[in-house]
Amino acid sequence: MLGGALHSKTQMENMHWSHKHSLVLCLLAMLQTPSLCQSEETTAVYIVTLKQAPASHHHHELITVAKNSGHGASGRRRTRVHKPRHQNVTKEDKGYASYFARVHDSLLNKVFKGEKYLKLYSYHYLINGFAVLVTQQQAEKLSRRREVSNVVLDFSVRTATTHTPQFLGLPQGAWFQTGGFETAGEGITIGFVDTGIDPTHPSFADDKSQHPFPVPANFSGVCEVTPDFPSGSCNRKLVGARHFAASAITRGIFNSSQDYASPFDGDGHGTHTASVAAGNHGIPVVVAGQFFGNASGMAPHSHISIYKALYRRFGGFAADVVAAIDQAAQDGVDIICLSITPNRRPSGIATFFNPIDMALLSAVKAGIFVVQAAGNTGPSPMTMSSFSPWIFTVGATSHDRVYSNSLCLGNNLTVPGLGLAPGTHENTMFKLIHARHALNKTTTVADAMYIGECQDASIFNQDLVQGNLLICSYSVRFVLGLSTIKQAIETAMNLSAVGVVFSMDPFVTSFQLNPVPMKIPGIIIPSANDSKILLQYYNSSLEIDGDSNKIVKFGAVASIGGGVEANYNDEAPKVVYYSARGPDPEDTLPHEADIMKPNLVAPGNLIWAAWSSAASDSDEFLGENFALMSGTSMAAPHVAGLAALVKQKFPNFSPAAIGSALSTSASLYDNNGRSIMAQRSYPTTDLNLSPATPFDMGSGFVNATAALNPGLLFDSSYDDYMSFLCGINGSTPTVLNYTGQNCWTYNSTVYGPDLNLPSITIARLNQSRVVQRTIQNIAGNETYNVGWSAPYGTSMKVSPNHFSIGSGEKQVLSVIFNATSNSSAASYGRIGLYGNQGHVVNIPVAVIFKIL
């Protein structure tokens, strides 16, 4: 269960052994019986941060290091590292890594003098620290050392297109402005911390474009080589790939064959997200033998680097994720995309203080734009799983493409349904046979409890089913994965059925059902009421012999319309019900933070994208090259790819400036010119809609074309974020612990509403408050008029309300808020800056508690 991963270079170079022989025996025992490694004292993984600054904080300082360091484990290695020809890891980077690893090893040796421990990682680029497997008592020993600033218990994390480029207007908009899809994203590398990648997928080949495709000179990543990720897996498109699993290994839950001890994606999620952001243009999507169009990433000419830290069977752990982030920053990626969220809200005085967010703060300091999924825990308020102002948080929306199917009954009723399946022969009705009435003579209902689910062809009478439509029951076992649509389709095919109809069990409620590919005519009736209509018609059409009580005639007939052809007239975008909502929780109590989350929304529902050849995350897409997935996981890479287009046009933009360009240009209206709506419940999603608020959609729906010409920018720096953290009550020791920096070095603290963000959130308005924003003009000379609408229960005034600004100049806006009523309900407003050259800058406003 551990062998393959322990031989990986990534793990081997970062593991330090104390009492090597006993631990090796322990780890070998874990291959057979993980419980054998449980000692009398419970061990756990801790992330330890040291006070000395990491390498990224002093690039130009000289550190003298020995040529040979003694850290790391020795032994045979089945994994080696392959470097694309144009990539070079600098001697300085290697020197830093060696120096910090030796410092970490020396400290551990001093503290534990003969005690057992296992170092999993040495972090050196964004964080100076390490992950180590120790007992609680040993962790307390570490925390008392003067060199140590912070000791945190590791925690778990989880994972959170063919048409969306057109829906986003890229071909005639942002792609056109960057020279077409052939050059969109050129020179930009996006790092994905996810479940890995399938390097054989055509979405990641480097021979699909006639345009030159050089590896960026500033990128220095490498490509692991393993039996399931062989030499040549990386290329000029996929420029780097590593995996991180040390924390999972120590817990005895990592299986090198099932989880793949390599960057290879055994889940599908990572392959999907990478192709959404940066997959090649024009790749045919063929699933279950049906053609669904051509796929493209948002930035199809950008580069991909993979940092696998999540796994299908158990998710992932912060220690591995931090190691992945640290490596991505060291490699020189321009953007980090995280379609992952913590399994719980971080403990401590503020949600911002956790190892992942603090590592990402250092990444932002290094100039990396960070995108994270909001989480799939909506639609209730304060369900946000991405917290910090330096992270660009993305919620999910629908788009205008819909796959609809229908079942036409012999009584002239039509029942709507789902299913990416062909229809039956036009103008031909076929007999309906329920699975319960199609058993062979040797099987009874009592013998086979789940016969209605159609999972075993051997229990049915083929003569009854052949040439007819088989009715199967979609029960809760499908939801749990105990039964599958794919197996029911196989059953129908083995019985020579014309097609299959799934009626919804009335006990299956509040479950999202996506269109599923089917090789033969098929349909799922997602509504229990519509399923009842179907079954009433079926039962009323049966002729039953009065004496024997046996069915003598099946009278019900139907035809399946088919669901392969898409229509593009749905009202969109809508914020989907599962997309996590603000306000942003500041702590575990939780209080509302003065930070607006999400930052914006993007397509995340029913997204076609690449799928791993060995992916097992979805039985319905097993063995397919593409899959139709939903989640904020799919929304985040849309924005990561679009951010690459902004970075390509404006290479000197800071991460905050990229976020500003995306935010202030976001759309507030759907494709019919109406206000964007938000789903408030499931399953009646479109029956419970209301206008989306900033806590549903942030600044609005991403508009990549407008983001390439934002006019005005709101910028923030690392120092601004540090001042913000220092402004949190009681945070000084925590800031020191995580960053090694004293709050007294900052002349003033900055509270959340005063961060120079392209939004304003005030969690508690006590009578009145003045908030300022500084904007910079990156366009030509322009004159702006300022308009605003005040949140309910407040009055608001912006000054100046009219200004002229030259190219490169800055302007300070002052916003005065006054409470006009006592209220604890959040209310919303907006500030609009309207330039005479066509630029429109949108600033959402939210005020929660109002106190007179």
> Cβ distance 309 to 320 under 8 Å?
yes
- For 199-252, the DSSP string reads TTSGGG-SSS-SS--PPPTT----EEEBTTB-TTS--SSEEEEEE--HHHHHTT
Active site residue 269: yes
Which helix (DSSP H) or strand (DSSP E) does residue 632 occupy?
Answer: helix 632-649
Active site residue 57: no
Other C-beta atoms lying within 10 Å of the C-beta of residue 424: 23
Catalytic residue among 296, 579, 633, 665: 633
> Cβ distance 233 to 304 under 8 Å?
no
- For 454-507, the DSSP string reads ---GGGB-HHHHTTSEEEEEE-HHHHTTSS-HHHHHHHHHHTT-SEEEEEEPTT
Active site residue 203: no
Please, what's the b/e burial string for 624-633 (b: 16 or more CB within 10 A of its CB; e: otherwise)?
bbbbbbbbbb
Local structure of 326: helix, strand or coil: helix
Q: Which are the contacts of 577, defined by CB distance < 8 A and separation ≥ 6?
A: 378, 379, 679, 680, 681, 682, 685
Tokens coding 167 = 């829906």
Give the angle 454-459-460 at the CA atoms, nearest 5°.
Answer: 75
How is residue 345 annotated by DSSP? Answer: P
Catalytic residue among 57, 71, 243, 269: 269
Q: Which of 95, 116, 111 is nearest to 39 (CA)?
A: 116
Give the angle 836-717-58 at the CA atoms, nearest 5°.
Answer: 145
- For 699-749, the DSSP string reads T-B--HHHHTS-SEEE---HHHHHHHHHTSTT-HHHHHHHHS--GGGSSS-
User: Strand pairing of 392-397 and 129-135?
Assistant: unpaired
| Angle, helices 632-649/269-278, rounded to nearest 10 degrees | 30
Local structure of 846: helix, strand or coil: strand
> Cβ distance 596 to 700 under 8 Å?
no
Catalytic residue among 93, 194, 357, 505: 194
Local structure of 134: helix, strand or coil: strand
- For 237-298, the DSSP string reads SEEEEEE--HHHHHTT---TTTTTSSSB-SSSHHHHHHHHHHPPTTEEEEETTEEEEEE--S
Return d(Cα 692, Cα 699) in angstroms, integer: 10
Catalytic residue set: 194, 269, 633
